[in-house]
Amino acid sequence: MPIQLTRPIYWNVEFSGIDFLIMGIGLLLLAAIVYGLYHRFQMWRVIGQADIRWDHPWERIKGVVRSVFGQRRMIEHIYAGQMHTLILVGFILLFIGTTLVAIERDIGQGVLGHQPTWFFHGTFYIVFSFILDAAGVMVIVGCLMALYRRFVEKPGYLYGITGFGKWTVLLLVVCLSGFVVEGARISHSAFVIDSGTVREADPVLEKWASPVGYTISKMISSAPGRELSFHWMAWWGHALLSFFIIGAFGYSILRHPFTGLMGIFFKRPGSTGTLAPIPNLEEAESFGVTTVDQFSWKTLFDSDTCVSCGRCEIHCPASQTGKPLSPKRIMQSIRKVWQPAAEQTLQGQQISEYPMLVGNSITEDELWSCTTCGACMRQCPLQIEHIPAIVDLRRALVMMESRFPSEAR
């Protein structure tokens, strides 16, 4: 068998029980993400009214697939679309790569007993390593574009949620540290399978398999004798930072890829401009919405899913002609009211009375400025339903309080 390039998994950091440690941490992180999302779901449900949004599941799943792989709404804005696509595709590739490494180690070498490797060698390893280098570069470029846009370009519609910059920097650091780990390993040696055993070889063999790591290795090799300790510290630093970011997915703005997919699945089927009829019109004792607890859970979910990208605002004809309406601000105002109320309710505290939305968080002028044209909903990449929330608030004004826009008086 010819000599084949490979990489020992856990090289320089392996100890007895490392597989169980990493697997245990992975399961704990998965449980943390699930719990975080479940807790958030409980917050939406404990305040919001019931609303069935899981009928016609196959149609909903097809809608999610079209949105994820089409990315039509995202790429309509070229710079933001390129930025998000680089980060999204890069992380998907890195996730697949990490999964394949786990399969090689835990199943191939652990369960099936393939030694020294199962498939992690030769052409597969070279292509695999090159693709992951490219994926890391994609994420780094996407993060740099995001930071430039938010802190240098500073478009006026990017306001409303803090924390994006912090998490973008952390994602950038974790990708850069991954390349440092790779470079430290290559600076010590490449590894090949020769006559059924793994041995060290000339680092130049990694030149095409890991071009970024190889380039970094040339910088690290200027300090010979320290690459092992440097690699050990870099590996654990990269691992701990990765664990922290993964664990934060269920508790921070990083959850928006998950909630975004859920929002697309739960959106109301049919045309964007179709308004939901008033249920039980003949027997209803109240109409519309005056307080957050009268909204459906889906409206509260939408307000929580909003990442304040501002697309609804820059495409809203009312907003662009100087009217006081911003669909984004409407959702933000709803979120600011229901979130503390939901936390109090889940903690067992009774809320005697919810504050009125119109007149406190939202003005009448904002509501009456909306023409229900649907531009906000057509442009929102997370397919948030702004108009139903606005219409519910207007219905209460008209049907419960006889308050009309000045043009209708």
In tens digits, the chain (409 residues) has pLDDT values of 588 999 999 999 999 999 999 999 999 999 999 999 999 999 999 999 988 888 888 989 988 888 877 767 777 788 888 999 999 999 999 999 999 999 999 999 999 999 999 999 999 999 999 999 999 999 999 999 999 998 998 888 888 777 788 999 999 999 999 999 999 999 999 999 988 899 999 999 999 999 999 999 998 876 666 789 999 999 999 999 999 999 999 899 899 888 999 999 998 877 666 677 777 776 767 788 999 999 999 999 999 999 988 999 999 999 999 999 999 999 999 999 999 999 999 998 888 888 999 989 999 999 999 999 999 999 998 999 999 999 999 999 998 888 887 666 5
3-state per-residue secondary structure call for the chain? CCCEEECCCCCCCCCCCHHHHHHHHHHHHHHHHHHHHHHHHHHHHHHCECCCCCCCHHHHHHHHHHHHHHCHHHHCCHHHHHHHHHHHHHHHHHHHHHHHHHHHHHHHHHHCCCCCCCCCEHHHHHHHHHHHHHHHHHHHHHHHHHHHHHHHHCCCCCCCCCCHHHHHHHHHHHHHHHHHHHHHHHHHCEEEEECCEEEEECHHHHCCCCHHHHHHHHHHCCCCCCHHHHHHHHHHHHHHHHHHHHHHHHCCHHHHHHHHHHHHHHCCCCCCCCCCCCCCCCCCCCCCCCCHHHCEHHHHHHHHHCCCCCHHHHHCHHHHCCCCCCHHHHHHHHHHHHHHHHHHHHCCCCCCCCCCCECCCECHHHHHHCCCCCHHHHHCCCCCCHHHHHHHHHHHHHHHHCCCCHHHC
**Per-residue pLDDT, 224:** 63
Instruction: Please identify which residue in the block is written with the tokens 């950091």.
Output: 13
**Per-residue pLDDT, 222:** 62
Q: Rounded distance, CA 183 to CA 305, Å? A: 38
**Per-residue pLDDT, 76:** 76
Going from N- to C-terminal start, the domains of the chain cover: 4-252, 267-408
Residue 65 CB contacts under 8 Å (≥ 6 apart), including other chains: none
Q: Rounded distance, CA 86 to CA 135, Å? A: 8
Residue 19 CB contacts under 8 Å (≥ 6 apart), including other chains: 105, 106, 110
Could you give the C-alpha distances from 335 to 131, 308, 325, 361, 389, in angstroms and in order? 41, 12, 17, 10, 12
Residue 405 CB contacts under 8 Å (≥ 6 apart), including other chains: 364, 368
**Per-residue pLDDT, 73:** 75
**Per-residue pLDDT, 56:** 86
Greatest distance between any 2 Cα atoms in the chain:
90
Q: For the chain, state the CA radius of gyration.
A: 26
Tell me if 51 sits within 8 A of 298, measured CB to CB. Answer: yes
**Per-residue pLDDT, 408:** 60
* 313, two tokens: 């605002």
Instruction: Return the CATH number of the domain spanning residue range 4-252.
Output: 1.20.950
Could you give the C-alpha distances from 4 to 122, 123, 125, 192, 217, in angstroms and in order? 5, 8, 9, 5, 21
* 293, two tokens: 């607890």
pTM attached to this predicted model: 0.89
**Per-residue pLDDT, 8:** 94
Residue 317 CB contacts under 8 Å (≥ 6 apart), including other chains: 371, 373, 375
**Per-residue pLDDT, 1:** 58
Tell me if 262 sits within 8 A of 380, measured CB to CB. Answer: no
**Per-residue pLDDT, 71:** 67
- Domain 267-408 belongs to what topology? Fumarate Reductase Iron-sulfur Protein; Chain B, domain 2 (1.10.1060)
Q: Rounded distance, CA 100 to CA 95, Å? A: 9
Neighbour-count burial for 91-124, b at 16+ CB within 10 Å, e otherwise: bebbeebeebbbbbbeebbeeeeeeebbebbbeb
Evaluate whether 4-252 and 267-408 have a shared fold: no
**Per-residue pLDDT, 401:** 83
